[in-house]
Chain A
Amino acid sequence: MKSFNKPFCIALGYFFLLAGCSHGNSVGNQGPIAPGLPNGATLAALSGPNVISFGVNTSPCSASSSSEYQNKPCVSVTVCTPGNDSQCDTISDILLDTGSYGLRLFSSVLSNAHPTQITAGGSPLIECATFGDGTELWGGVSSADVILGGEPAARTPIQIVNASFGGGTLPSICSSPTANPSEARFNGILGIGLFKQDCGSTCVNNGGGGPAPDVYFTCPSGTCGPVYAPLADQVTNPITLLSADNNGAILELPDIPFGGVSSISGYLVLGIGTRSNNTPGSVTVFPADPNTANFTTKYNGQIYSQSFIDSGSNAYYFPSSISQCGSELAGWYCPGSLSTQTATNVGFSGTPSSSVSFYIGNLSDLLTNSSGNVFIEMGGSGGSTQFDWGLPFYIGRNIYHGYEGGTSPLGTGMYWAY
């Protein structure tokens, strides 16, 4: 908001670091950490029932599914048969995704837990969940007891991903669903973005008589067709169903040096201002559009009105004239040298407005010269209406996700704050 001259401070700080000014913040011998970020190289230890450790390219990511998958944030989640806490599975290698809503697990990773299938009109309720990269997850919607960290179990509709579920001809909109964890490169997705449900009122029958959206389906007689689903049956962000610490979530990651590191670990903290360990620091709150969870990013003279922050995007994705890499890395940015960029993020309805710096490196050089998997300077080309602030934006920051309708010391959701 009033940080118009912040880029100067950041630039100065960077020069001091380059000049060898000792801040004690460097990691190993890889040079100074990325400048201007609040968290430093080591996070203060956090504990409590609402604190969940997560890894970026380290446990609980699976080593095999994470190779050549940079900036992959993973979390573990326990799911149980509804009402039976002796039938549970703790699943690792779940993508921690602030760009979606709800828990999705491949059916093949469950053994002890038996979630209860939800029905619609007597048939199993099924979803085709689509993603920004054009991939699809098909599978039934079931009720499970979901345990996050040390919180009490929350009865939650989740998606049990199974490309052959339902026994019918899949709708053409879901004609090539992801087959298994090895193809997906994760065992599941924990969607903890700003919305509660993954569809919301658009998928609820309002009596208008039109066809249902192509989101929820049933396959009653060999052919799958769209159906409406009440909010209580829709796949839902489990944090919003907790009895406490349900108004939002914070992701905290340490800063890293340019050039990449092999992995980092951070905290997913449930709730905002509900306990001493999630009291907000000094942050700027950006309200998001209640219809889309978007805000606006101004970059390079252009206005991107459908912008968003997304831990499940592994890089910054945005349109730019920065040089792109060669064909094997088509679509990724490869500037001649590390490039400092500046953009301005603007809350829904116009305020606040605050500039922020970010960094884009030469991905081809990074992958060649570094054995690292986590890069703060990784970016690729993106859509013409959106700036996708992916996982690199989380590095070195605490980012607050204020949920739809939730209230906290930072206001009433939905919002991002950092």
Chain B
Amino acid sequence: MMGFLWATCANATLGKNEDSIEVDRTHFHWVNLGKVNQGSYNVITLKGAACTLREYTTPEGVIFGIAWTGYHHPDLEVLLGEYRGQFKSMSEAESKKSGRKKGKRHRTLHSEQLHVEHGGHMRNYTGKAYDPTLVPKDVKVEVIQ
């Protein structure tokens, strides 16, 4: 089951072409609410049963960031695609650091190639993930939200 699941999403999301969004959409039973051009980037919004996902793409169609709002955080192991190994090792490294032990209720993981944030409260979680190296030069990372 696990192998099948990951195989389905091997093409998906961060760093990949926006065509992969259709794979995600089908996998998660999301509704595509459409693509909005914001000048130097596009936002594609997908709505699930209890989570809204926004995927940010370059004019060339590369997904450079994702952001979510909802009743739960999305399945990042799937959504991060080929970044999931990096995500796991960053999570594990963070949990060993003392900063993690201070009862922190907002989580930020950052490396040169991957930035992930979790936050919010029950029934209204938010977060985002992006690859800083893929964000177009004229786009501020703050737009990913």
Question: Which residues of A pack against B, CB within 8 Å?
Answer: 68-72, 99-101, 128-134, 169, 172-173, 175, 185, 191, 193, 195, 198-200, 202-203, 210-215, 223, 226, 292-294, 306, 308, 310, 312-315, 317, 328-332, 380-386, 388, 390
| Neighbour of A332 across the interface among B29, B73, B99, B128, CB < 8 A | B99
Q: Identify which of B1, B91, B107 gathers the most chain A CB atoms within 10 Å of its CB.
A: B107
CB nearest to A210 among chain B residues = B49
Contact of B120 among A132, A172, A380, A390 (CB under 8 A): A132
The 3 closest A-B pairs by CB, nearest first: A213-B50, A99-B121, A383-B119
The reply to whether B103 and A129 form a contact with Cβ atoms under 8 Å apart is no
Which residues on the A side are within 8 Å of B118 (C-beta)?
132-134
Among A199, A329, A381, A388, the residue within 8 A (CB) of B105 is A388
Q: Name which of B12-20, B37-45, B55-63, B74-82 contacts chain A.
A: B74-82
| A39, B31: Cα distance in complex, Å | 50
CA distance A223 to B5 in the complex (A): 13
A202 touches B77 (CB 8 A): no
- Report the minimal beta-carbon distance from A311 to chain B, rounded to whole angstroms: 10
> Would A132 and B50 count as touching, CB distance under 8 A?
no
Q: Who on chain B is nearest to A176 by CB?
A: B91
Beyond the given A132-B106, A134-B107, A173-B74, please list 6 additional residue pairs across the A-B interface where CB-CB is below 8 A: A101-B123, A132-B125, A314-B103, A381-B108, A383-B145, A388-B106
> Given the complex, which residues of B lie within 8 Å of A313, measured CB to CB?
105-106
**Across-interface contacts of B99 in A (CB, < 8 A):** 328-332
6 cross-chain CB contacts under 8 A? A132-B120, A132-B125, A198-B122, A294-B124, A306-B126, A314-B105
Complex contact A100–B72 (CB within 8 A): no
CB distance from B63 to the nearest CB of A (A): 19
What CA separation (Å) do A104 and B118 show in the bound complex? 21
When C-beta atoms are compared, the residue in chain B nearest to A133 turns out to be B107
Q: Within 8 Å CB of A388, what residues of B?
A: 105-106, 119, 121
A202 CB contacts on chain B under 8 angstroms: 49-50, 71
The residues of A that contact B49 with a CB separation of less than 8 Å are 202, 210-214, 226
Q: Is B104 an interface residue (CB 8 A)?
A: yes
Measured CB to CB, the residues of B under 8 A from A are 1-2, 5, 29, 48-51, 69, 71-75, 77-78, 91, 97-99, 101-108, 117-128, 142, 144-145
A211 and B29 in contact (CB under 8 A), knowing A313-B105, A381-B108? yes
A380–B127 CA distance with the chains assembled, in angstroms: 16
Q: Which residue of A lies closest to B117 (CB)?
A: A383
Contact between B104 and A331, CB atoms less than 8 A apart = yes
Instruction: Pick the residue among B29, B71, B103, B107 that contacts A71 (CB under 8 A).
Output: B103
Q: Are A306 and B105 in contact (CB under 8 A)?
A: no
**Taking each of B48, B72, B123, which has the highest tally of chain A beta carbons within 10 Å of its own beta carbon?**
B123
Q: When chains A and B are docked, how far (Å) is the Cα of A332 from the Cα of B103? A: 12
Question: In the complex, which residues of chain B have a beta carbon less than 8 angstroms from the beta carbon of A308?
Answer: 120-121, 124
For residue A315, give the distance in angstroms from its CB to the closest CB of chain B: 7
Whether B122 lies near A191 (C-beta < 8 A) is: yes
Smallest CB separation, B12 vs chain A (Å):
13
Q: Are A330 and B97 in contact (CB under 8 A)?
A: yes
Q: How far is the CA of A163 from the CA of B123 in the complex (A)?
A: 21
Judge whether B75 and A382 touch: CB under 8 Å: no
Q: How far is the CA of A214 from the CA of B30 in the complex (A)?
A: 13
B124 A292 Cβ-Cβ under 8 A: yes
Q: Name B120's closest neighbour in chain A (CB-CB).
A: A132
Q: Which residues of B contact A172 (CB under 8 A)?
A: 2, 5, 75, 77-78
Please name the residue on chain B nearest to A208 by beta carbon. B49
Give min CB distance, A86 to chain B, whole Å.
Answer: 33
Closest to B49 in A: A213
Shortest distance in angstroms between B77's beta carbon and chain A's nearest beta carbon? 6
Judging by beta carbons under 8 Å apart, are B50 and A69 in contact? no
Closest to A130 in B: B72
**Interface pair A70/B72, CB less than 8 Å apart:** no
Q: Which of A69, A134, A310 contacts B121 (CB 8 A)?
A: A310
Closest to A223 in B: B1
